[in-house]
A and B are shown apart, each in its own frame.
Chain A
Amino acid sequence: MAEKNSYTEALDRIKAPEESVNRAVNAALEAEQKRGKSHGKAKTKSALLKITAAAAAFAVVTGAVTAAVMVSRSNKRNSGSGQIAAPNSFSLSVNAAELNKSSVNIGKIVCGQSMMACKGKTPDANTDISADDDTDNTVVENFTMSPELSFAVNCRGNNIKYINYQIEGAAFCPMELDPVEELSTDIGYLNDYNRYNRILEMTFNKPYDELIKEVDHGPDSPETPAFVYAVQPHVYSSLTLRYDDQPLIHNMTDDELFEQYGIDGPPSLDIITKGVYSWDPGLSGVSKELSDHIIGKTFSQLDEFDSASPETEDGKLKKAFITEQIENIKITITVTYEDGDTDTCIMQLSPGKQSEDTFEMDVNAKLIMVKEESSNTESDPGQSGQAVSSPEPTAKNKKVD
């Protein structure tokens, strides 16, 4: 036990009441019984993988089916024609680099423009504020920052039916005014293109700032701009792409495919990311430390903050903020194959090399977990094959809820 102090002594006195523990035990055992009863039934993950209303969006590119991080089933199934079907597989890669337990640079993040709110100011006015404005008597009441994150990861595989992206530690906001409509085209494209080439690329870019236009209450509105609250309905943390309902496309060139969907090339679907610590007013998009530093300053003081160089105290605060934001982001990628089997990877983002004279830094990613499940474990234990390459699933990197 650690050295005693008033904190540890206070914690010592906190004990779970016996009745609470008993309830917890009973709840767990009940769950265990249910699990035992349901075991043996084919796992149908589709219910868990419904497309969320309209989520972020992703793009598809081409490629083959190999990678060091690939999770590949040992069971090769016979197809109806008697040929051996390709094994289920799924992998992540970035350019030529294959994503594994080592950090790989996947993109960059740049400290975006800070945004502020005060009574009587519209969002547009706020974003244009500068020291030249007559606002020295107006203090900042709400403050957010907008790190601009851009990265791309390729997802490759065989027999993929669904891919689910679950994002933790960040909110991804489609830029379009009607994300549902926009995404319907993009996902349709994804479906076809994935059938064609079987590679998925996730692309994230665009700053948070532009979304402000969506939530402008109008220049005459007396309402205090509340960016985060207004944005929330458009923020998504999960996306499932479905591939099963689309017809197979054969002998179609890339250009024809692009033309069919009215696009010039693989769609760079506009997604913005804004790291969050909480959705509390005044803290969204900033750390408490940064918020405490800014709230109460005049606009002219905030202008100084915005223009601060990286080596200053303000600059260091900004950099620390970006670092913390990135470290919070985890993306769980779950692939459901045609036969119901699933594979899961968790990708952890982290800050990489930092520029000394700008607020730009590399974003790295590594796999912290690769896990596979089999829908046929009981009937055929031999089918619960292991990942063919690192990282091996270990107790430590098991998925954490």
Chain B
Amino acid sequence: MKLFTFMNNKKETLPDRSELIESIIRKYADMIYRIAYQNTGSFADADDILQEVSIALITKDAPLEDETYLKSWLIRVTINKCRDLHRHLKVIETEPLEEHEDIPTKEKRDIMEEVQQLPETYRTIIYLYYYENYTLQEIADTMQKSINTVSSGLQRARKQLKTILTEEGYSYG
């Protein structure tokens, strides 16, 4: 789909582009929301960040034409939005997890709380490695860091998470 013809002929391509934008947001909303929640510890903030990232899709010239890059772009923008929020608020007020019906059990709450205690970089690495199943190289590309930094970060993060994961009988590696 040739998206940016809109720049020269908006009347013809506006509907396509709008549909594409909506489909992108719906497809990646959960991912954005998860990253935002993991980084902020607040569903309300995750909600705000989802909206901000969605707007950034338009205002920041997201690479809509390439899904692989788009996903990395969305991850980075989401992380940056979380960072901005953190800088502004200094102290993040954590919304009690019990208020969110999707995380009902104590052990799920514990692991998320444990992850949220990690430094921001580690949280992102853990998320991309475990949840998105990214390779170290893919994580390095996405985070624009060296693979050595990612590798050492993963090791440190795993060290901190190892106890809780193994105690629950899960494999963590």
Point out the residue from A16, A17, A348, A396 that lies within 8 Å of B72, measured CB to CB: A396
For the complex formed, measure the closest distance between the CB of A79 and the CB atoms of chain B, giving whole angstroms. Answer: 28
Residue of A at shortest CB range from B148?
Answer: A323
Cβ of B120 within 8 Å of any chain A Cβ, yes or no, is yes
Contact B77 A5 (CB under 8 A): no
Residues in chain A near residue B60, CB distance under 8 A: 399-401
Contact A279 B130 (CB under 8 A): no
Cβ of A49 within 8 Å of any chain B Cβ, yes or no, is no
Contact A401 B58 (CB under 8 A): no
Point out the residue from A35, A289, A320, A378 that lies within 8 Å of B8, measured CB to CB: A378
Chain B: number of interface residues, binned into ranges: 35 or more
Contact B172 A396 (CB under 8 A): no
Contact B21 A32 (CB under 8 A): yes
Beyond A25-B54, A32-B18, is A20–B47 a contact (Cβ under 8 Å)? yes
Point out the residue from B56, B86, B164 that lies within 8 Å of A401, measured CB to CB: B56
Cβ of B133 within 8 Å of any chain A Cβ, yes or no, is yes
Residues in chain B near residue A401, CB distance under 8 A: 56, 60, 77, 80-81
Residues in chain A near residue B8, CB distance under 8 A: 377-378, 381
Cβ of B25 within 8 Å of any chain A Cβ, yes or no, is yes
Bound CA span A277–B149, Å = 15
Bound CA span A350–B165, Å = 33
Residue of A at shortest CB range from B36?
Answer: A16
A5-33 vs B, CB cutoff 8 Å, 1 = contact: the mask equals: 11111110111110011011101110110
Residue of A at shortest CB range from B167?
Answer: A6
Task: Provide the main secondary structure of the chain B interface.
Answer: helix
Residues in chain B near residue A25, CB distance under 8 A: 21-22, 25-26, 54
Beyond A5-B170, A5-B171, is A327–B146 a contact (Cβ under 8 Å)? yes
Cβ of A75 within 8 Å of any chain B Cβ, yes or no, is no
Cβ of B163 within 8 Å of any chain A Cβ, yes or no, is no
Contact B30 A16 (CB under 8 A): yes
Cβ of B139 within 8 Å of any chain A Cβ, yes or no, is no
Residues in chain B near residue A20, CB distance under 8 A: 29, 33, 47, 50-51
Bound CA span A398–B103, Å = 36
A299-318 vs B, CB cutoff 8 Å, 1 = contact: the mask equals: 00000000000000000000
Cβ of B98 within 8 Å of any chain A Cβ, yes or no, is no
Cβ of A280 within 8 Å of any chain B Cβ, yes or no, is yes
Beyond A324-B149, A377-B8, is A2–B133 a contact (Cβ under 8 Å)? yes
Cβ of A246 within 8 Å of any chain B Cβ, yes or no, is no
Contact B131 A11 (CB under 8 A): yes
Bound CA span A278–B55, Å = 25
Residues in chain A near residue B57, CB distance under 8 A: 28
For the complex formed, measure the closest distance between the CB of B92 and the CB atoms of chain A, giving whole angstroms. Answer: 10
Residues in chain B near residue A327, CB distance under 8 A: 145-146, 149
Cβ of A50 within 8 Å of any chain B Cβ, yes or no, is no
Residues in chain A near residue B80, CB distance under 8 A: 400-401
Contact B47 A17 (CB under 8 A): yes
Cβ of A368 within 8 Å of any chain B Cβ, yes or no, is yes
Point out the residue from A8, A14, A330 that lies within 8 Å of B30, measured CB to CB: A14
Residue of A at shortest CB range from B26?
Answer: A21
Residue of A at shortest CB range from B6?
Answer: A36
- Residues of A374-400 at the interface with B, using a CB-CB cut-off of 8 Å, are 377-378, 381, 394-396, 398-400
Bound CA span A279–B91, Å = 10
Residues in chain A near residue B2, CB distance under 8 A: none
For the complex formed, measure the closest distance between the CB of B123 and the CB atoms of chain A, giving whole angstroms. Answer: 11
Residue of A at shortest CB range from B58?
Answer: A31
A168-210 vs B, CB cutoff 8 Å, 1 = contact: the mask equals: 0000000000000000000000000000000000000000000
Cβ of A3 within 8 Å of any chain B Cβ, yes or no, is yes
Cβ of A293 within 8 Å of any chain B Cβ, yes or no, is no
Bound CA span A395–B66, Å = 7
Bound CA span A350–B149, Å = 11
Bound CA span A287–B149, Å = 13
Beyond A1-B133, A25-B54, A324-B149, is A7–B126 a contact (Cβ under 8 Å)? yes
Beyond A7-B115, A401-B77, is A28–B145 a contact (Cβ under 8 Å)? no
Contact B61 A14 (CB under 8 A): no
B98-127 vs A, CB cutoff 8 Å, 1 = contact: the mask equals: 001011100111011001000111000011
| Known contacts A1-B133, A15-B33, A323-B149; 8 further A-B pairs (Cβ under 8 A) | A5-B130, A13-B102, A16-B46, A23-B47, A27-B54, A394-B69, A399-B60, A399-B61
Top 9 A-B residue pairs of the complex, sorted by shortest distance between their CB atoms: A395-B63, A16-B33, A5-B170, A24-B54, A10-B108, A16-B29, A28-B54, A31-B58, A395-B66
